[in-house]
Amino acid sequence: MTDHSQAMSALLKRRHASEARFQWGGRIAIFVALGFLALMMASIGVKSIGALTQTYVALNIDLRSTNIPKDKIASTRFDPIIKRALRATFPVVKKREEKRRLYGLVSSDASYELKRQLLADPGLLDGTAKIWFIASDDVDLYIKSGGIDAKWVGGKLTAGQIGWIKTLQDSGNIERRFNWQFFTSGDSREPELAGILSALVGSALSLAVCFVLSFPVGVLAAIYLEEFAPRNRWTAFLEVNINNLAAVPSIVFGLLGLAIFLNIFGLPRSSPLVGGMVLSLMTLPTIIIAARASLRAVPPSVREAALGIGASPIQATFHHVAPLALPGILTGSIIGMARALGDTAPLLMIGMVAFIVDVPSSILEPATALPVQIFLWADSPERAFLQKTSAAIMVLLFFLIIMNLAAIVLRKKFEQRF
């Protein structure tokens, strides 16, 4: 073998070794990224498990002795009845401070829960009934921790309270159930009562407004710029600004919405209408860029063939080019909507950070959004909100994954059709 052949062989070995190192470097980077992602998901998932169950406390309530008329249930205060039942369960409790701690075993919603059950079944007033009430957040955390010392829970439970809890456990008056209320109720200042329904509905209404505004406008703008607009300084100026807007921080769009939609036009603050309009401003550049790229990817022969058989430019675009570009347009639109679903900063600027309990029924009513709800719960001092925050994050990630899967499925479906 000549010196030249040996040199070339050594060069090829170094090149192959370099390519192998590069490939392994890429694989290691992917594995590390997936490892961190799995660690994050596992950490959030473990913390969210506690939010899926709720502790309930049963009290035997003598309703016959209350002498409440059935037509007066809605106007009756049931707090004294709940307190009397707790004192009857633990008659040794005499001091005022101990009574206050005893009343703290059940949620502040206990009186309303009793009223709801009596309104649903007034016949309960004719005797003694065993009623299940949601436990307070401290009791709930203590039960979920497996009965570990109260200092681990947060130091809010005394030895007496732990003794009462164990007495209730031994008598079968404490149990854990699936927390349907997390998915069917709105926000609350009490962790054991807080749910995500109002935030989910607010996010859905905002995304609906965003889609109705941004999708047709973005697609039509992309079609005009790519297929019909003359190539001059004005269109070049528009293209540069659209590309720049796609990189603008989302909070800037929130400031724009605050200045225009709220201060100038006077639209209702904290409403999904304004939230959707702000999100549409943020999503438009992404949709336009994705749609233009999809239109540009259609082979020129399609346009030429359509024009060659007598189709007008509009017919060639909307009958032949746009259908072929539809998979990419839908993918870019759904990805833009997914970004809008998970964004918080623009919604904070227009007041959707307000404390909203009721579920909005229209786009003009005050509402919040799921990312904003997560932000509010993460900032709360109560430890029970940590589980609710983690569970809300998992719900948000679930919807983001669903939207991305929908983008993939729609792209494959329309690619096969056209």
What is the pTM (predicted TM-score) of this model?
A: 0.85
In the prediction, which pLDDT does 394 show?
A: 92
How confident is the prediction along the chain (418 residues), in pLDDT tens digits per residue?
A: 566 777 777 788 888 888 888 889 889 999 999 999 899 888 888 888 888 899 999 988 888 877 788 778 888 888 888 888 888 888 888 888 888 888 888 988 888 888 888 888 888 788 788 889 999 888 888 888 876 655 555 557 788 888 888 888 888 889 999 999 899 888 888 888 889 999 999 999 999 999 999 999 999 999 999 888 888 888 888 888 888 888 888 888 888 888 888 888 888 888 899 999 999 999 999 999 999 999 998 888 888 888 888 888 888 888 888 888 888 888 888 888 888 888 888 888 888 887 888 888 889 888 889 998 998 898 888 888 888 999 999 999 998 888 888 888 877 777 655 5
Assess contact for 367 and 202: CB atoms under 8 A. yes
In the prediction, which pLDDT does 416 show?
A: 54
Q: Provide long-range contacts, Cβ within 8 A and 24+ apart, for 70-74.
A: 70/122, 70/125, 73/115, 73/118, 73/119, 73/122, 73/125, 74/115, 74/119
In the prediction, which pLDDT does 268 show?
A: 87
What is the b/e burial string over 327-341, where b = at least 16 CB atoms within 10 angstroms of the residue's CB?
Answer: bbbbbbbbbbbbbbb
Assess contact for 239 and 296: CB atoms under 8 A. no
d(C-alpha 401, C-alpha 320), whole Å: 31
Residue 177, classed as helix, strand or coil, is strand
Q: Which two tokens stand for residue 173?
A: 């008056």
d(C-alpha 388, C-alpha 394), whole Å: 10
d(C-alpha 200, C-alpha 211), whole Å: 16
In the prediction, which pLDDT does 333 show?
A: 87
Give me the domains of the chain, ranges plus CATH numbers. 53-185 (no CATH), 197-417 (1.10.3720.10)
In the prediction, which pLDDT does 143 show?
A: 87
